Amino acid sequence: MSESFDYMRKVCMIGAGGSGKTAIVNRFLTQKFSEQYIVTIGSQFAVKTVSVQSHTGTEVRVKLLVWDLAGQERFDFIRTSYYKGSKGALLVFDVTRKSTWKELPKWIAETESALGTRIPIVLLANKVDLEEERVISKEMGLKFVEDNNLNGYLETSALTGDNIDDAFKILAQATIL
């Protein structure tokens, strides 16, 4: 039996390798966290439908085709081909690793270059459950979103599930407005 939906949107998970993109997608799909780290080779693909409010205030169902793109530099040559048709992106960084923060402008530029346009992007500050190891503040994240005209900012934890569902709903809503 096929699930009904009002919109179908391809969205990408982008950000440095090890920032938690795959863990976020897995939490979104299964509501569970896996301690096991597996490097994404090229991309992985997942589908889930969410309900959001349209610009008219009515509830609509958006089927998200989530492409989890490999963040490691060695996959740069293949990654851009996966952007085609994307209507939005979740840009993920690890709040405990400054190197993932410093790469954020690169990801925005890569997305725009691959698509020839700006798509809605929501910034996710991931691994906020590791508060004692945190090196990137919430204020820094909010300023980055403002300075780069992004569509939102959320502090997430794939471990606890904090704001994971909200991230996908905010992105889904941004892709239909």
- Say if CB 124 and CB 92 are below 8 A apart: yes
SS3 content of the chain, % helix, strand, coil (to 5): 35, 30, 35
Reference 20, options 43, 46, 32, 38; nearest CA is: 38
Class of CATH domain 7-176: alpha beta
Domain ranges of the chain: 7-176
CB atoms inside a 10 Å sphere around CB 61:
15
Residue 34's pLDDT is 73
Residue reference for tokens 């060695």: 74
Sheet containing strand 153-155, edge to edge, reads: 43-53, 59-69, 7-15, 86-94, 121-126, 153-155
Q: What is the CA radius of gyration of the chain?
A: 15
For the chain, list residues with pLDDT below 70: 1-2, 35-44, 70-79
Query: Token pair for residue 143?
Result: 């300023």
**Coil/strand/helix, residue 82:** helix
Residue 78's pLDDT is 59
Identify residue 25 by its one-letter amino acid code: V
What is the DSSP secondary structure assignment for residue 133, as one 8-state letter? Answer: G
Alpha helices per DSSP H over the chain: 21-30, 76-79, 98-102, 104-115, 138-147, 164-176
78 contact partners, CB below 8 Å, separation of at least 6: 42, 70
pLDDT 10s digits, 96-123: 999 999 999 999 999 999 999 999 999 9
Residue 76's pLDDT is 55
